[in-house]
Structure 1
Amino acid sequence: MVFLFLHQNFPGQFAHLAPALAKRGHRVVALSSRFEKPQDWRGVRLVPYKYAEPEDHKLHPWLNTLNRAVDRGAVVLRACLALKERGLTPDVIIAHSGWGEALFLRDIWPDAKIGIFCEYFYQAANADMDFDPEFQATNELGRVHRVAMKNLGMRLQLESADAGISPTFWQADSHPPGLREKISVIHDGVDTDAIRPDPGVRLTLDGVGSWTRADEVISFVNRNLEPYRGFHIFMRALPDLLKRRPNAQIIVVGEDGVSYGSAPKQGGTWKDVMIAEVRDRISDADLARVHFTGRIARDDFTRLLQVTRLHLYLTYPFVLSWSLLEAMACEAAIVASDTAPVREALVHDKTAILSDFFDIPGLVDRIDALLDDPSRRAALGAAARQHVQRTYDLRQVCLPAQFDWIAGFAGRAV
């Protein structure tokens, strides 16, 4: 069969599925704005399209997300028409719905089957948007209507598709019932053969430091350091944590942008803001034990999870991070926020220690106690890896389920 993948930052969630289909002998093409030139990657033909954010228009602010989705969808429409003129006729199209890329595909290839990756349907209440009153207005006028418009592009894509897929039940259940019926819950998958414990591992980051499992390493990871992933909570816990753990080395991975929330109103980065807030409570000697690495290479990231003595994961009720499942696969002892998406992957006192997101003293207590209990850490880490292998393993669980999902809506085995 011929497959066409659409993801502005390809491969994204399709990093395993697309090359696995190519390996099975299918023709696989991916359209993305990430690349400058056509190229081949693991059997997948990558075709770029150029996209620039639309110029400002006099729009109601509730329409900004939809306007960007329609604008990108129109760009992809032209790119797909060019592919069609060059002879591409996909049997199956698989697209992430988050940016509008699949809005207009049905009219180009009416016979193609379309599957949509449904990452998240925003909720006006009882999820991420009203979770943290420090940064979110609880009395916002028209929040329900603003969120409905924010979701409209994703809704239109799933309505026109043959099937949807979502990595967790919590994320799938964020969709309204009529759309939820289309969605199968299958995770992208964790390669537990490659991402696994290594007792002899050493992590060396040039200009930062070098550590083994003999060191008391605490890891904290965000794509970008921001409140949605609990960076402010982590930083506020840091002064007391450093005092109570005088040998700890804190490794913080993440860039300084914004992935999900908003930039600080006062300007600068969240790292700047939070360091300024806690700096007078941290000595120079203690601050020297906190290492902000920015983004690190894939292999170094795996080594970090292998070397860490305790991994800290905090998040609003939002999409579940790959980093959490990979930490579990490495048998890391985990302290995590007691929020809904986390509870789907972790069970308190069985695979991790869960802590109220806003309880900073309690968080420090739990980290401190777990670091003093090696047998408990080992038991939690082993149970976490076993759960990942049973539930999220790439080759034994997720890829076979993804192949079945495609066969179900395409009407042909893959």
Structure 2
Amino acid sequence: MGKSPFKNSQNYAHIQYSAERSSTRGIHPWVTDIETKSIRAEACGKVCQKLKSQGFVPDIICGHPGWGELLGIPYVWPQSPILMYQEFYYNEYGFDSDFDPEFAKQQSDWSKKTQTHLKNANSLLNLQHATWNVTPTNFQRSSFPIQFHQRFSTIHDGISNHAQPAPDKSNIKVQAGKQTILSDQDQLITFVNRRVEPYRGCHSFIRSIPLIQERNPNAIIVIVGIAKGVSYGSPCPQGEWKDVFLKEIEGHYDPEKVLFVGQLPYQDFLNLLKLSRVHVYLTYPFVLSWSLLEAMSTGCAIVGSSTAPVTEVIEDNVHGLLVNFFDPKAIAAGITDLLHDGDRAARLGKNAHQRAVEQYSLERCLPRQLELINLVARKVIGA
């Protein structure tokens, strides 16, 4: 290998690059996705070619192919093995796009499904030249075409050991707005989304709020996440999803006991989970959120949706309670059961913590990740 151009005391460099062009106006909407990925691939490829001209040849290339940057790399360094972090493959049937009947009309048109199919162009091109692939969960692996499964390893990224149960919660305080400080004296129910959107069950959870409050009048519901826009799925056609669903239950719930706290600093987020009496996690058949595993690792009593990403990590009535994603009554009933049965909640929380530590902790996952990198770099696998 030639002399590395990377010069700093920690033996790595962060090299930035930027696109030289923007997306074409008037381009056919079906190919917008592959065009934006091609633009990134071009920018990344030029930087890598410059590195190659300086004598740098990587022993291994590790990257996330989802935004297109890896498309040209095999042709810059054709002899270097590539380990790709594969997150999700879009499917027209059986996964997220046709899961929710409430929004099925938005996805049922043949042109929408064709566009979903074409979004996989980048994924297929990268799968063809990946030496090996790694994905966090078996469910995510199952989303990819079966002919590629034999070139996958399933290894989670790993959950930080900072996500641990608190032996003593009496000293934990979390600021939730200017006037509210949460403590272990509060009967907290937590719900976390990166953004408050249907993909993560905001509609089902919000619709359960009146019944939760009716059965648990002292409960405080804390919703963590950005309440504007979407990370996944379609934008709300009538403003913001949160506002649409809160409008449905207007007059039937106490808004003073429903706190939307936005994004929290990580330590405040973990402290909130440590205080939580019940944590609710709902998701379409889609990428599993880290927040569920962090909640499990902190020992939360979980009420989760009985969807494939969740059933992979939670066995019903062992590591948490599983309920129908679409059933607000079942969600409220599960929460109420755990709030009223502290022993059961403690047992499920303890089991959840044990499973998270044994299967998804950073201490378990990182050595496996490093071993895989070494095997691919040495061309022991994938050759």
Same fold (TM over 0.5): yes
Alpha-carbon distance in 2 for matches of 1:168, 1:316: 15
Corresponding residue SS for 1:312? strand
Alpha-carbon distance in 1 for matches of 2:331, 2:205: 9
Larger relative contact order (CA 8 Å, sep ≥ 6): 2
Match among 224, 229, 236 for residue 195 of structure 2: 224
- CA deviation after TM superposition for structure 1 residue 398, in Å: 0.6
Q: CA RMSD in A?
A: 2.4
* Match of residue 252 from structure 2: 281
Are 1:380 and 2:348 an aligned pair? yes
* Match of residue 22 from structure 1: none
Corresponding residue SS for 1:324? helix
Aligned partner of 2:160: which letter? D
Alpha-carbon distance in 1 for matches of 2:74, 2:178: 51
| Offset from partner CA, 1:124-176 (integer Å, 9 cap, x none) | 11110000121133632155543331111011112111100000001011111
Aligned partner of 1:67: which letter? E
Change beyond 3 A, Cα 1:265–1:56: farther
Are 1:398 and 2:369 an aligned pair? no
Q: Describe how 1:329-340 pairs up with structure 2 within 5 A.
A: 329-340=297-308
Aligned partner of 2:115: which letter? R
* Match of residue 154 from structure 2: 185
Change beyond 3 A, Cα 1:262–1:139: closer
Alpha-carbon distance in 2 for matches of 1:122, 1:220: 26
Match among 43, 64, 77 for residue 109 of structure 1: 77
Match among 343, 348, 354 for residue 311 of structure 2: 343
Contact 1:309 1:371 in 2 (8 A): yes
Aligned partner of 1:409: which letter? V
Contact 2:84 2:133 in 1 (8 A): yes
Q: Describe how 1:147-296 pairs up with structure 2 within 5 A.
A: 147-192=116-161, 194-198=162-166, 199-200=168-169, 201-207=172-178, 209-255=180-226, 256-266=228-238, 268-282=239-253, 286-296=254-264
The two structures have a TM-score, normalised by structure 2, of: 0.91
Contact 1:208 1:293 in 2 (8 A): no
Contact 1:124 1:143 in 2 (8 A): no
Contact 2:37 2:122 in 1 (8 A): yes
Match among 74, 81, 89 for residue 42 of structure 2: 74
Contact 1:325 1:388 in 2 (8 A): yes
| Offset from partner CA, 1:93-128 (integer Å, 9 cap, x none) | 111121111010011112221111000011111110
The alignment-based identity, stated in percent, is: 37
- CA deviation after TM superposition for structure 1 residue 274, in Å: 2.0
Aligned partner of 1:162: which letter? T
| Offset from partner CA, 1:207-236 (integer Å, 9 cap, x none) | 152222231111110111110000111111
Gaps in structure 1 of 5+ consecutive residues: 3-26, 30-37
Corresponding residue SS for 2:33? helix
| Offset from partner CA, 1:18-74 (integer Å, 9 cap, x none) | xxxxxxxxx998xxxxxxxx999x875322222488334333332222222112211
Contact 1:39 1:46 in 2 (8 A): no
Change beyond 3 A, Cα 1:350–1:299: same
Contact 1:172 1:180 in 2 (8 A): yes
Alpha-carbon distance in 1 for matches of 2:279, 2:59: 43
* Match of residue 324 from structure 1: 292
Contact 1:312 1:334 in 2 (8 A): yes
* Match of residue 35 from structure 1: none
Contact 2:99 2:285 in 1 (8 A): yes
User: Which moves more between the two structures, 144-153 or 256-265?
Assistant: 144-153
Match among 371, 375, 378 for residue 411 of structure 1: 378
Aligned partner of 1:372: which letter? H
Are 1:63 and 2:31 an aligned pair? yes
Corresponding residue SS for 1:323? helix
Are 1:130 and 2:98 an aligned pair? yes
Are 1:297 and 2:265 an aligned pair? yes
Contact 1:115 1:165 in 2 (8 A): yes
Corresponding residue SS for 2:175? strand
Change beyond 3 A, Cα 1:311–1:183: same
Displaced runs of 4+ in structure 1, greater than 4 A? none
Alpha-carbon distance in 1 for matches of 2:286, 2:8: 34
Contact 1:28 1:44 in 2 (8 A): no
User: Which moves more between the two structures, 73-82 or 305-314?
Assistant: 73-82
User: Greater strand percent: which structure?
Assistant: 1
Change beyond 3 A, Cα 1:412–1:270: same
Alpha-carbon distance in 1 for matches of 2:114, 2:310: 28
* Match of residue 59 from structure 2: 91
Contact 1:121 1:151 in 2 (8 A): yes
Alpha-carbon distance in 2 for matches of 1:45, 1:60: 38
How many residue pairs are counted as aligned between the two chains? 374
The two structures have a TM-score, normalised by structure 1, of: 0.85
- CA deviation after TM superposition for structure 1 residue 383, in Å: 0.3
